[in-house]
Amino acid sequence: MRSETTKRKVNSDNTAKMLLHYLKKRSVLVALSIILALASSLTALFVPVLFGEAIDAIAGDMSDVVKCLVRVGIVVAVTAFMQWIMALVNNKITYEVTADIRKDAFEKIQKLPLSYLDSHPTGEIVSRMVADVDTLADGLLMGFTQAFTGIVTIIGTIYYMWTLSRMTTIVVVCVTPLSLFVANFIARHTHDMFVTQSVTRGEQTALIDEMIGNAKVVRSFGYEDEALERFNEINDRLAVCSLKALFYSSTVNPSTRFVNSTVYALVALVGAFRVLGGHISVGSLSALLAYATQYTKPFNEISGVVTELQNAFACASRVFAMLQEDEESGSDIYMTGSDVKEAGADRDLMEVSKDDCSADIGDTVRGDTEIEAVDFAYIKDKPLIENFNLSVRQGQTVAIVGPTGCGKTTLINLLMRFYDTDAGRIMIDGKDITSCTRQEHRKRFGMVLQDTWIKNGTVLENIRIGRPDATYEECIEAAKAAHAHSFIRRLPEGYDTMLSEDGGDLSVGQKQLLCITRVMLALPPILILDEATSSIDTRTEIRIQKAFHKMMEGRTSFIVAHRLSTIMDADMIVVMRDGHILEQGDHESLLKKGGFYKELFEAQFAR
């Protein structure tokens, strides 16, 4: 059983730490951005001094005024160039970080346990990787572009104002905390609103993905009105929480502007008295007023940055929460009964090295399977399988039958380690399946499911999924064995025909034939067939059953079937109900018992 996942609350501090982890990889670019922010801000702050000198020089020689204006033009040009370079650097940092986050998130999805994917809608996961990361990118870009320059501008203006008039500087600094208090108060109260907005947006994306992906079902059952009602309900909630978040966050700017206007008025008033007293010149007062504007401007920008960062952090926390989920392999800890084992601790399950695993797996795995006292539940307080025991010898064909919900597919999930047992253990060739990695364990199995999966690529690429190194001739032979060759030849470009992720124009039966071809090509030592021919016509099914019988010779096979006609020749039929084995034996012996299997059989074949 997997150890219980510790629920982690990804707060702002953890989010900041994880962002710093990604930024450390680009420390040189971050340092360059800070240097450029410092340099461009300082040169921009020198402009009011030059304008003040030009104003004071008007009463004298006009050539001095021209010289000051030329110097202003040079300083402005240099500042603009540095700001342009800084913008390029900031964009590179932002989009490389978000690209890394998306890459890590996609890799994480490949390693997440099936239980996580089952409990989270696809659209919600897509929303985290797309919309939330986009919002994070906007926040990072605004932070790098405005936060650093704003801080440098504030410090620089204080310095220059101090050199011009200490009294005015003291007045400005005393009023500043009021602006910071207003911005901080509003920002803290808007974070939760942005979290709610992000979660609701993910819920909306999940619904849209569900409705589009199942459009045929929606229209077939006339579910359009109900779907629209669900969408409108979520959309209304999203509108309300978005309006609240934006309204409260928007109050930051006018609030800080009011405080900043007060600062400007105080500078003008105090400065005017200083001019009348002969302490400073008119040019210095002009510079002070310019600095007062420059000093208050970063507070308006930073308040906007804080608001955007609150939104960005709320979205980033959802992405990082997924990145911090426990993986199904690697260093995860698993429990089997009272023993605790670490995945990958014993990788010699097949008595071959890892390098030889894929090459010699068919020769090294016999397929003897022992299921001992297994308990399992998807929801811990609702047991599904209890004290399940089953012994299968090499080469046996085991059919698993029973009513819907009895645990047939769940047993397959446990065999494949899509889920781990809560108690008991499953052994193959005498060794616990938790003693090697899932990847190595699954190399021993070939699966054909009722639900098909086609990737975006050619027919040949879809067939080679289990054996990427297979030759063209081997793929054709596998397709012929699966009776898929004839319809593939009729495709526009044969085996080179491109297929979309949903199979394009292929029928459900044709997609299932492609999935069967994959298994025919890989020929693993253990086979699992879960309603493998449910979407295929009867004539083709009879042919494929013959091909399956030939393929299953010498291989341990597990067949999940509702149509009992397909498993009458099985070596062992396991009849399940409510997570327990009711009966066990071959077809004839189970009929003679007159138990539940006979009831199922007669229900299907009674005249």
Residues 313 and 341 in one domain: no
CA–CA dist 399, 109 (Å, integer):
32
Q: Which residues pair with 56 in a beta bridge?
A: none
Q: Is residue 451 part of a domain?
A: no
Residues 201 and 342 in one domain: no
23 and 30 Cβ atoms separated by less than 8 Å: yes
300 and 260 Cβ atoms separated by less than 8 Å: yes
Poorest-confidence range of 19-23, 131-135, 346-350, 497-501? 346-350
Task: Supply the pLDDT for residue 169.
Answer: 75
138 and 308 Cβ atoms separated by less than 8 Å: yes
The domain that contains 152 carries what CATH number?
A: 1.20.1560.10
Question: Which of 272, 300, 323 marks a domain boundary?
Answer: 323
Check the CA dihedral 588-590-591-597 and report its sign.
negative
Task: Supply the pLDDT for residue 534.
Answer: 66
CA–CA dist 469, 150 (Å, integer):
57
Residues 224 and 310 in one domain: yes
Torsion angle of C-alpha atoms 485, 490, 496, 498, degrees rounded to 10: -110
Residues 148 and 243 in one domain: yes
Q: Mind listing the pLDDT tens digit for each residue in 248-307? A: 777 766 777 777 777 777 777 777 777 777 777 777 777 777 777 777 677 666 666 766
101 and 136 Cβ atoms separated by less than 8 Å: yes
Residues 143 and 254 in one domain: yes
The domain that contains 577 carries what CATH number?
A: 3.40.50.300
pLDDT at 320 over 80: yes
pLDDT at 335 over 50: no
pLDDT band at residue 221 under the 50/70/90 scheme: confident
Q: Mind listing the pLDDT tens digit for each residue in 516-544? A: 888 888 888 888 888 766 666 777 777 77
Q: Which domain holds residue 353?
A: 329-444+559-607
Residues 257 and 379 in one domain: no
Q: Is residue 51 part of a domain?
A: no
Task: Supply the pLDDT for residue 606.
Answer: 61
pLDDT band at residue 338 under the 50/70/90 scheme: very low
Question: Which position has the higher pLDDT, 333 or 237?
Answer: 237
Residues 6+ apart with CB under 8 A from 195: 314, 317
Task: Supply the pLDDT for residue 307.
Answer: 67
Share of the chain above pLDDT 90, in %: 1
pLDDT band at residue 81 under the 50/70/90 scheme: very high
Question: Which of 299, 323, 347 marks a domain boundary?
Answer: 323
375 and 1 Cβ atoms separated by less than 8 Å: no
Task: Supply the pLDDT for residue 333.
Answer: 37
Residues 6+ apart with CB under 8 A from 357: 350, 440, 443
Share of the chain above pLDDT 70, in %: 84
Instruction: Label residue 452 left, alpha or beta by phi (over 0 means left) and psi (-120 to 50 means alpha).
Output: beta
Question: Which position has the higher pLDDT, 181 or 243?
Answer: 243
Q: Give the CA radius of gyration of the chain.
A: 35
Task: Supply the pLDDT for residue 304.
Answer: 65
- For 577, half-sphere exposure in the C-beta direction (CA atoms, 13 angstrom radius) is 10
Phi, psi of 110 (to 5 degrees): -65, -20
pLDDT at 336 over 50: no
- For 164, half-sphere exposure in the C-beta direction (CA atoms, 13 angstrom radius) is 31
Q: What is the mean pLDDT of the chain?
A: 77
Closest by CA position to 145, among listed 262, 25, 304: 304
Residues 112 and 189 in one domain: yes
The total number of structural domains in the chain stands at 2
Residues 287 and 343 in one domain: no
Q: Is residue 475 part of a domain?
A: no
End-to-end Cα separation, the chain, in angstroms: 46
Q: Which residues pair with 447 in a beta bridge?
A: 528
Mean pLDDT of 9-35: 78
CA–CA dist 572, 108 (Å, integer):
39
Q: Which residue type, as a one-letter code, is found at position 44?
A: A
Mean pLDDT of 472-501: 87
Q: Is residue 401 part of a domain?
A: yes
Report the length, in residues, of the chain: 607
Task: Supply the pLDDT for residue 2.
Answer: 37
Q: Which residues pair with 391 in a beta bridge?
A: 370
Query: Is the pTM above the cut of 0.85?
Result: no
What is the token pair recorded at 127?
């929303």
Task: Supply the pLDDT for residue 118.
Answer: 76
Task: Supply the pLDDT for residue 11.
Answer: 55
Check the CA dihedral 214-218-221-227 and report its sign.
positive
Neighbours of 528 (CB within 10 A): 22
Q: Mind listing the pLDDT tens digit for each residue in 40-69? A: 888 887 777 777 777 776 766 677 778 878
Question: Which position has the higher pLDDT, 67 or 546?
Answer: 67
pLDDT at 247 over 60: yes
Q: Which residue has the tokens 């009849």?
A: 575
CA–CA dist 601, 581 (Å, integer):
17
Q: Is residue 88 part of a domain?
A: no
Q: Mind listing the pLDDT tens digit for each residue in 569-592? A: 888 888 888 878 888 888 888 888
What is the token pair recorded at 410?
């769940």
Task: Supply the pLDDT for residue 348.
Answer: 38
Mean pLDDT of 140-165: 76
Torsion angle of C-alpha atoms 249, 255, 256, 259, degrees rounded to 10: -170
Poorest-confidence range of 36-40, 98-102, 181-185, 499-503? 181-185
Closest by CA position to 372, among listed 393, 399, 396, 391: 391
Helix (H, G, I), strand (E, B) or coil at 223: coil
What is the token pair recorded at 236?
């209304």
573 and 512 Cβ atoms separated by less than 8 Å: no
Question: Which of 288, 323, 358 marks a domain boundary?
Answer: 323
Question: Which position has the higher pLDDT, 457 or 604?
Answer: 457
pLDDT band at residue 437 under the 50/70/90 scheme: confident
Check the CA dihedral 455-461-467-469 and report its sign.
negative
Closest by CA position to 332, among listed 350, 348, 320, 344: 344
Phi, psi of 548 (to 5 degrees): -60, -45
Task: Supply the pLDDT for residue 164.
Answer: 73
Residues 249 and 377 in one domain: no
Q: Is residue 418 part of a domain?
A: yes
pLDDT at 344 over 50: no
Task: Supply the pLDDT for residue 594.
Answer: 84
Residues 572 and 600 in one domain: yes
pLDDT band at residue 206 under the 50/70/90 scheme: confident
Q: Which residues pair with 448 in a beta bridge?
A: 529
CA–CA dist 444, 472 (Å, integer):
23
Residues 352 and 291 in one domain: no
DSSP 146: I
Residues 154 and 241 in one domain: yes
